[in-house]
Amino acid sequence: MNEVMARLALLSVSNKTGLIELARQLVEEFEFDLISSGGTAKALQAAGLPVTKVSDYTGSPEILGGRVKTLHPRIHGGILGRRDVAQDVAEMEANQIRPIDLVVVNLYPFEETIAQPDVTLPEAIEQIDIGGPALLRASAKNNAHLTVLCNPSQYNSYLDQLRQHGEQPSLEFRQSCAIQAFSHTAAYDQAIATYLSNLTPSQTSATPSAANEQFTLSGQLLQSLRYGENPHQPATWYQTGTIPTGWTAANKLQGKELSYNNLVDLEAARRIITEFKDSPAAVIIKHTNPCGVALGETLFEAYEKAFHADSVSAFGGIVALNHPIDISTATALIQTFLECVVAPECDPEARAILSAKSKVRVLLLPDFQTGPKQTVNVIAGGLLVQAADDGADTTDNWQVVTEKQPTPDQLEELLFAWKVAKHVKSNAIVVTRHRTTAGIGAGQMNRVGSVKIALEQAGEKAKGGILASDGFFPFDDSVRTAAAAGIEAIVQPGGSLRDKDSIQAANELGLVMVFTGIRHFLH
């Protein structure tokens, strides 16, 4: 092998951020030869940089509309050849294969393509990269002898490594880059598999088909967090997919860095606020449970009602609003200590008011509705995956099981209470009046305890109110307790072997009782 031959770099990128700057440094400072293909070669030529097209280097033209160009022994032999194995070196020399010292590759924009609203399946298929993953995996495998870069953020670090170490970067750096390359291709393949699986309407997103028995989680490190639930727990935030969505796409107007607990609470708030699309709504969250939820004629009214539902618990809470923040709402928000406020938009005048509390995290999330289609729990030795409980609740299939029938207003109040109970930790009891929570019993070990907590918190507000339970009543004691507190109507799933006891008690006490036929446990 010619020892004075220049080092060789293969550049083939879809995302051309930083490409020209990197290539120029490779040529002018480190005297690399460049080989490239397709649009990358054209970009380098347009910048006046010397580059050899892959087709000229291999002696094989690009074929099939560019589908086949880098899949060639002179390319993959130069990547996979081991410089310290005599047979590899001899075979490379015999086949006129130069060792490749640097591979710079990122992949076709598959996720960006499928994110387009009207993308067709053939368009998506054309953005499935074949040569790119093969180059990345081959280069990562042989990191003992070369470096692979798959992200423009790595370019400057690579150049610094060359300046520091000379011929090639440190083994530690090369191994780190290899890990990133394998992670990149794994996430890419997972995005393709997920997209294709979701095209089959008979499959739920949580249930693998016979042909797809793998469930893979992957994410790109977004940032390290100060700590997790507690200061002794390290924590990080990962972005799923290459396109920012959800909280990774939210615009933070002001405030301190988001914490692990902030993000968990914000997601709980997002899930509740999605239940209310039309009327102005406000949700206040503490430790993933709502302490105040309300609808109003205006956003200000909704927030005021939600705040006064439990003003003690609202202190240090997370607020979600489903309409743009206006002046009056912003003025109310700064009257107490809050951790975070999220809304789809914020009026300019309201921004100025909120800035008076500069430490409060204010986020804009235009799309509250789009969330994960699965929930995942990690257990020892495995994962539990289920479809998200994100269906829209309506009264269409509800069954009134008592002699007394609900009025139209009561039915609307029952639906409001039921939607809130869906997002309260089980055992969940929610008492409401006038589309406002009055008392919430969350996470108790028995339903009787949750009923007592909710009714005690509601106090006089329970009179004429509605009670919602996320699970059925196995005995009639809770029905009698609710009636004694002044509750007029109850909504629950039904399904207990002793439903007739609860129905009999409701009829005896003059209550309305509705069965939904569906439960909403939240563990």
Residues with a known catalytic role: 141, 287
Radius of gyration of the chain (CA): 30
Q: Cβ contacts of residue 126 below 8 Å, gap of 6+?
A: none
* Cα–Cα nearest to 468, from 415, 510, 426, 521: 415
3-state percent helix, strand, coil for the chain, nearest multiple of 5 = 40, 20, 40
Q: Do residues 282 and 306 make contact, with C-beta atoms less than 8 angstroms apart?
A: yes
Question: CA 7 from chain center: how many Å?
Answer: 42
Question: What's the order of all strands across the beta sheet hosting 289-295?
Answer: 251-254, 361-364, 338-343, 317-321, 281-286, 289-295, 436-441, 429-433, 466-469, 489-492, 512-515, 399-400
Question: How, if at all, do strands 220-225 and 147-149 pair?
Answer: unpaired
Helix H or strand E segment including 187:
helix 171-198
Tokens representing 375? 């929930």
Q: Where are the alpha helices (DSSP H) in 232-341?
A: 260-273, 299-309, 311-314, 327-333
User: What DSSP string runs through 7-68?
Assistant: PEEEEE-SS-TTHHHHHHHHHHTT--EEEE-HHHHHHHHHTT---EEHHHHHS---BGGGTB
* Cα–Cα nearest to 281, from 248, 225, 250, 322: 322
Q: How far apart are CA 115 and CA 119, in angstroms?
A: 8
Q: How far apart are CA 94 and CA 174, in angstroms?
A: 28
Q: Do residues 342 and 269 make contact, with C-beta atoms less than 8 angstroms apart?
A: yes
Q: How far apart are CA 37 and CA 362, in angstroms?
A: 46
Tokens representing 100? 């490749």
Q: How far apart are CA 22 and CA 34, in angstroms?
A: 11
Q: How far apart are CA 197 and CA 210, in angstroms?
A: 12
